[in-house]
């Protein structure tokens, strides 16, 4: 694929405005099979949140997980002379762009920036040194969560030296350091007033700090600042980090493919394939398109798309899908859907358009604190009007409830996340912790989640008591040796576990999707499906008489015959995890969760697994593709459920992205692991039960902390408003309750519970 490398002088030419609306089509000329192709980019979802002269704030959901998009956006902005700066905050899906008002009018800024956003969605935009050379330093390095504490700490140090220590330090220097340390609080207060048209707790903090500082109570101001910024730092620290990988089920496809045109085979770039082309796929290759088989038969591994570990046989007339792997056989496929229009492509789009959740329990706490701002200001004003005493008014403003809430809630969240990590559970955000405490519906993928995700032998049946199970395994292993099929490999493992000798194999013939015939010990041995043995003239009646329940068990079966006589059968399955039954029972009985199971497997096998786990048949969803899994999660959301999805495969990523809280395993696919809000690092489902317990415990502690903060502050507020209180005493009450609540919030770490 040819890359579109943009340099500073070229960027503006790729940005256009049409009737004040975003209109962008990036085109690249590609000469493929003698024709030129023009491409239209997929739309990047965004929302203009706020616009003022010289500044725009935009919400772009994909920046939370798409690091490459972020790099392209920053690079394009850095190369554009109109843009003065860009700041990305992936945890909130927020982008702030500042531009030169002399070069761009406010009326045109939205369309201009919209075009830039869309252009960054072009995967052909190469990130070159020329593009990134103007990037600002803060875009090139990771900013520490704790850097905001530097100035408050410095101001506190100077206040101590100039106050209790008694050194001769100018009040101007101390006051100046406090002013500098207060700037982040002032900025947040002003942004809220300008953008959201209301007063927030930062404004209350700013007012109290200003009054106290003006009265030269420097240490009081500094203690307030340290606690405020500590709460902000912890809150940011517990936000979901944005290092998730971008899912691309199509990324591993070959860049060139074979097609048949006018009766001749030719190799062309993948981008040159068009609908109605006949695509040829050989063993070991991934299918590059969605379509139907015109000729051939093959054993296809659909694990990447459906999550199922067992390959399936596809023949003439069957549908096949991009990103699936041809293990054996050769196919001629009529191409019907390409690229983003394939099932795999639609899965990618589902993830990219997944909702961005930014409601965190810490934000709810901040909103509660914001609600008391106006009443506190009015009360402070009333006290000043009645007493003309600035100190008493400052005392009222200092007791603001906000500090305790803003410190204790994030502290509890961080402590719970740390406690979970010590127990092998990675919880990536405060929001995930919050949702874990609320979940009432849990959707499990079957393969690799409730089951082990591999093939194992679960039974050996003989057609006659004179035949030993060991002989059945001996013949099957001899025939299947060196065959790269999951069932053949499972038989070989089982033979080794049972210490069965592997006999030499003579002439043999393997038939895709059916079985194998081989000469072993002078006998013609057949190992394969029921259809294969019946086609070869073997009568299975003797085996059916000895084991009438063989087919009712629901296990896939391999049959073994020798010299035309049935000898026995081997049953195999993807066995349940050892802990699955216990976990499902606990989730249902202890937490009252509604349990659902999703799978790409057949309905018969899905029902068999559900029966073992006592999952209601009406909550079992079989033969589900990735987009259908996501739709089921969305349907539960619409019903008012708080949904957790547990999965480990690429095919689960869309459902993981749409769940309220998504859970995967350390050994899951890279994309599932990075999409997930919670990762079970010990690869054990019991970690899910433990995570919910930790989350609910954290919620209880947060409720306790509300009481710890409210009671002393309400009492202090009553005293300050009536008989008066020294600002330092008010600060001690306010900050003291905050510290006690914060220490209580640390209980999950300190006690390990």
- Sign of the CA dihedral running 217, 169, 173, 148: negative
Q: Distances in Å between the alpha carbon of 572 and those of 345, 485, 488? A: 33, 13, 11
- Secondary structure E strands in 63-124: 83-89, 94-99
For residues 289 and 337, the answer to whether their CB atoms sit within 8 Å is yes
Angle at 22 between CA 138 and CA 66, to 5 degrees: 40
Q: Are 455 and 486 in contact (CB under 8 A)?
A: yes
DSSP secondary structure letter of residue 286: B
The DSSP secondary structure of 462-522, one letter per residue, reads ESSTTS-HHHHHHHHHHHHTT--SHHHHHHHHHHHHTT-------SEEEETTTEEEEEETT
Q: Could you give the CA distance from residue 520 to residue 537 in angstroms, rounded to a whole number?
A: 19
Q: In sequence order, what are the beta bridge partners of 596?
A: 443
Pair 577, 597: CB distance under 8 Å? no
Q: Give the whole-angstrom CA distance, residue 725 versus residue 391.
A: 8
d(CA 345, CA 249): 7
Burial class (CB in 10 A: 0-12, 13-18, 19+), 378: exposed
Alpha helices in 402-441 (DSSP H): 402-422, 430-438
As a residue count, the chain comes to 753
Catalytic residue among 445, 574, 677, 684: 445
Contact 330, 370 (CB under 8 A): no
Q: What is the DSSP letter of 614?
A: T
248 included as an active-site residue: no
Answer for the pair 473, 494: CB distance below 8 angstroms, yes or no.
yes
- Residue 163 is given by DSSP the state T
8 Å CB contact between 586 and 426: no
- Using an 8 Å Cβ cutoff, are 709 and 663 in contact? no
Q: Is the distance from CB of 595 to CB of 615 less than 8 angstroms?
A: yes
Partners of residue 281 on adjacent β-strands: 331
Give the number of other Cβ atoms within 10 Å of residue 739's Cβ.
Answer: 16
Q: Is the dihedral of CA 492, 496, 498, 499 positive or negative?
A: positive
Which stretch of DSSP H or E encloses residue 731?
helix 727-745
What span, in angstroms and rounded, lies between the C-alpha atoms of 30 and 553? 56
Give the span between the Cα atoms of 367 and 714, in whole angstroms. Answer: 18
String of b and e for 623-646 (b: at least 16 CB within 10 Å)?
A: ebbbeebbbbbbebbeeebbbbbb
Distance CA 441, CA 667 (A): 24
Residue ranges in 238-355 assigned as alpha helix (H): 303-306, 343-352
Give, in degrees to the nearest 5, the angle at Cα 351 between 347 and 355.
140
Distance, in Å, from the CA atom of 42 to the CA atom of 340, rounded to the nearest integer, reads: 9
Distant-in-sequence, close-in-space partners of 709: CB < 8 Å, separation ≥ 6:
401, 404, 405, 408, 737, 738, 741
Q: Tell me how far apart the alpha carbons of residues 35 and 268 are, in angstroms, rounded to a whole number.
A: 12
Residues with catalytic roles: 445
């Amino acid at each position: 694929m040819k890359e579109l490398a943009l340099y500073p002088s070229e960027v503006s030419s790729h940005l256009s405005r049409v009737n004040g609306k975003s209109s962008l089509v990036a085109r690249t000329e590609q000469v493929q099979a003698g024709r030129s192709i023009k491409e239209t980019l997929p739309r990047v979802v965004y929302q203009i949140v706020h616009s003022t002269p010289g500044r725009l704030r935009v919400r772009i959901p994909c920046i939370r997980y798409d690091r490459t998009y972020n790099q392209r956006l920053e690079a394009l902005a850095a190369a554009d002379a109109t843009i003065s700066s860009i700041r990305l905050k992936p945890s909130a899906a927020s982008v702030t762009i500042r531009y030169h008002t002399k070069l761009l009018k406010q009326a045109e800024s939205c369309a201009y920036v919209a075009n830039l956003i869309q252009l960054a969605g072009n995967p052909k935009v190469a990130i070159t040194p020329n593009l990134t050379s103007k990037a600002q330093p803060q875009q090139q390095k990771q900013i520490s969560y704790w850097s905001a504490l530097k100035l408050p700490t410095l101001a506190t140090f100077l206040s101590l030296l100039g106050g209790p220590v008694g050194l001769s330090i100018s009040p101007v220097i101390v006051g100046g350091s406090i002013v500098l340390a207060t700037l982040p609080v002032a900025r947040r207060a002003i942004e809220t007033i300008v953008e959201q048209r209301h007063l927030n707790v930062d404004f209350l903090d700013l007012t109290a700090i200003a009054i106290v500082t003006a009265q030269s109570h420097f240490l009081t101001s500094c203690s307030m600042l340290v606690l405020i910024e500590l709460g902000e730092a912890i809150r940011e620290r517990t936000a979901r980090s944005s290092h998730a990988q971008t899912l691309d089920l199509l990324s591993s496809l070959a860049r060139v493919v074979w097609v048949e045109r006018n009766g001749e085979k030719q190799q062309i770039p993948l981008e040159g394939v068009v609908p109605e082309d006949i695509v040829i796929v050989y063993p070991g290759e991934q299918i590059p398109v969605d379509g139907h088989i015109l000729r051939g038969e093959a054993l296809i591994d659909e694990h990447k798309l459906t999550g199922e570990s067992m390959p399936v046989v596809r023949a003439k007339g069957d549908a096949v899908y991009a990103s699936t792997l041809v293990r054996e056989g050769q196919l001629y496929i009529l191409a019907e859907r390409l690229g983003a229009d394939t099932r795999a492509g639609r899965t990618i789009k589902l993830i990219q358009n997944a909702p961005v959740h930014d409601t965190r329990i810490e934000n709810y706490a901040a909103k509660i604190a914001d609600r008391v701002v106006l009443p506190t200001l009015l009360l402070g004003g009333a006290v000043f009007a009645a007493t003309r005493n600035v100190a008493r008014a400052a005392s009222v403003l200092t007791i603001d409830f906000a500090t305790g809430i803003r410190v204790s809630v994030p502290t509890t969240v961080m402590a719970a996340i740390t406690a979970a990590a010590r127990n092998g559970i990675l919880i990536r955000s405060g929001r995930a912790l919050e949702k874990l405490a609320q979940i009432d519906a849990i959707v499990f993928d079957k393969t690799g989640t409730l089951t082990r995700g591999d093939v194992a032998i679960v039974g050996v049946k003989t057609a006659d008591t004179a035949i030993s199970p060991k002989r059945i395994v001996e013949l099957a292993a001899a025939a299947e040796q060196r065959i790269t099929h999951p069932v053949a490999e499972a038989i070989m493992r089982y033979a080794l576990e049972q210490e069965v000798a592997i006999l030499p194999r003579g002439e043999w013939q393997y038939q895709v999707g059916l079985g194998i015939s081989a000469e072993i010990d002078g006998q013609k041995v057949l190992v394969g499906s029921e259809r294969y043995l019946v086609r070869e003239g073997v009568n299975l009646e003797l085996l059916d008489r000895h084991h009438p329940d063989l087919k009712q068990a629901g296990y896939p079966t391999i049959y073994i015959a020798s010299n035309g006589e049935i000898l026995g059968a081997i049953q195999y399955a993807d066995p349940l995890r050892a802990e699955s039954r216990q976990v499902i029972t606990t989730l249902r009985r202890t937490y009252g969760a509604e349990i659902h199971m999703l799978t790409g497997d057949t309905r018969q096998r899905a029902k068999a697994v559900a029966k073992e786990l006592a999952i209601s048949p009406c909550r079992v969803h079989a033969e589900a593709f990735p987009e259908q899994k996501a739709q089921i999660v969305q349907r539960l959301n619409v019903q008012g459920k708080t949904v957790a999805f547990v999965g480990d495969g690429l095919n689960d990523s869309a459902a993981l992205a749409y769940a309220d809280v998504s859970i995967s395993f350390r050994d899951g696919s890279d994309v599932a692991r990075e999409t997930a809000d919670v990762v079970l690092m010990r690869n054990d489902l019991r970690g899910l039960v433990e995570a919910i317990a930790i989350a609910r415990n954290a919620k209880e502690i947060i409720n306790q902390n509300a009481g710890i903060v409210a009671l002393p502050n309400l009492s202090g507020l009553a005293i300050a408003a009536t008989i008066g209180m020294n600002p330092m005493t008010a600060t001690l009450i306010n900050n003291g309750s905050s510290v006690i609540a914060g220490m209580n919030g640390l209980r999950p770490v300190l006690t390990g519970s």
